[in-house]
A and B are shown apart, each in its own frame.
Chain A
Amino acid sequence: MSAFTALLTRDLRLAFRQGGDVANVVAFFALAVILFPFGVGPDPDLLARISAGVLWVTALLAALLSLERLFEADYHDGSLEALSLMPVPLEIQVLAKCTAHWLTTGLPLTIVAPVLALVLHFDVAGYPALIAALLLGTPVLSLIGAIGAALTLGARRAGVLLSLLVLPLYIPVLIFGVAASEAAALGLESRPHLLLLAALFATSLALAPWAAAAALRQALE
């Protein structure tokens, strides 16, 4: 078994045994979305108009809340230090952990989003684009989030600081993700936005592990 698979399996096994991680993320997502009709009123047209934006912003926040557990536990019990001493590039290890994070955060969000979209009267014609956009965008959230999580290891008030660092960097994903999702409802093409999301995905896949590994190394120094 390669080191990448070993680390990925370990993280998934831990998430499965310690339980609650996936449920927490999904529960927060659902609750936050449900708050909006209470806030802006139940008018179906208004809700449909804001549905794509609401889904993406709340998905983003849900992903943000789950970022802390990416490196925190390993940092505090010495596993991160031990991992950095393995003869495997730290960048590959970051990629493995981001994959595990996405499987327990981004993927569940993508699966639940269409259900919540019903609640917001999201235009059904937009479903394929919504799901495609989430599939492309949520990994970017994990990758960029990993940089923030690595930078704030051991910082005072790391949780709030993490939000401050990561949310501005999430804005492009949010913009293109929403644009792709509501393109169908507006009678427009979603392809250009999906392509831009794919470009963001490719770029973050190439660069984020490198930046996160650099941040981890200086956290362990």
Chain B
Amino acid sequence: MAAGELQKSFTGEGLACRRGERRVFRGVAFALGAGEALVLGGPNGSGKTSLLRLMAGLAQPEQGRIAWDGTSIADDPVAHRARLHYIGHQEAVKLALTAEENLGFWAQMRGTAANATAALRRFRLDPRATWPARYLSAGERKRLGLARLLASPAALWLLDEPTTGLDAESIEILLAVIAEHRRDGGCVAVATHAVMPLPAAQAVSLAPHATGRQA
């Protein structure tokens, strides 16, 4: 292993993934260090979401190994979950709770003091803080889902299509938030179709590794 690779906190090698009876990809590898960003690209069905879920520990890879600081994440799933934020397609927002209560709940589950107010302000949701989430627009709910990223700290951010449903200004905010996170030493992996101008980001395309039939 080259000296530079020893500094990569989050690595994966020889990864193969199966969803249902179908093999989605094989032979995928990545290496992510502190302050770095990884963009997962590829056509529909190539397995971007599947790879992100493997990274989060939501599913086990059929082959291969994912490690944080050299230790396989399967060895201590609780510790791995403590260090990551995973924002999937759905916002995980409870409509009957207020925006504040939603964020406060997730922070409590992670065992940290809730930083809900600052998170809401950063995503321009502070006027809506005490509104039940059912009165928020779709874009606002999406932002509320993203606000979880700031409500409690985590080193690794895993984002699945984070810009869907966001207006241009909100996308700018998200990019700025990601940049600050990277400056503070965190790392981020994003699965996206959209063009996301993340400076100095590695790109991993899943297209050559996909084994499912092309649609």
Contacts and interface: CB of A to CB of B under 8 A. Distances in A.
B97 A78 contact: no
B81 A85 contact: yes
Contacts of A83: 109
A14 B101 CA distance: 11
Interface string B155-199: 000000000000000000000000000000000000000000000
A4 B204 CA distance: 38
A82 B81 CA distance: 10
Contact of A13 (B84, B97, B110): B97
Interface string A67-107: 00000000001110111111111000000000000000000
A77 B58 contact: no
Contacts of B111: 3, 87-88
A82 B106 contact: yes
A85 B58 contact: yes
Interface stretch (B22-30, B33-41, B88-96, B118-126): B88-96
Contacts of B101: 13
A10 B105 CA distance: 7
Query: In this complex, which of A17, A78, A82, A84 has the most chain B Cβ atoms within 10 angstroms of its Cβ?
Result: A82
B94 A14 contact: yes
Contacts of B91: 77-78
A1 B88 CA distance: 26
Contacts of A86: 81, 106, 109-110
Given A84-B58, A220-B58, A78 B92 contact: yes
A221 interface: yes
A117 B79 CA distance: 51
A136 interface: no
Size band of the interface chain B makes with A: 20 to 34
Nearest to A10: B105
A107 to B, nearest CB: 21
Interface in A1-47: 1, 3, 6-7, 10, 13-14, 17-18
A3 B104 CA distance: 11
Contact of B97 (A10, A82, A88): A10
Contact of A89 (B57, B78, B94): B78
A88 B107 CA distance: 12
A10 B101 CA distance: 9
A103 to B, nearest CB: 17
Given A10-B94, A78-B90, A87 B58 contact: no
A81 B92 contact: yes
Interface in B109-157: 109-111
Contacts of B79: 87
A213 to B, nearest CB: 12
Contacts of B93: 77
B92 to A, nearest CB: 4
Nearest to A5: B108
B74 interface: no
A88 B88 contact: no
A87 B89 CA distance: 20
A82 to B, nearest CB: 4
B59 interface: yes
A14 B86 CA distance: 24
Nearest to B154: A87
Contacts of A220: 58
Across chains A and B, which 8 residue pairs bring their CB atoms closest together, nearest first? A78-B90, A87-B82, A6-B108, A82-B92, A78-B92, A17-B96, A86-B109, A79-B92
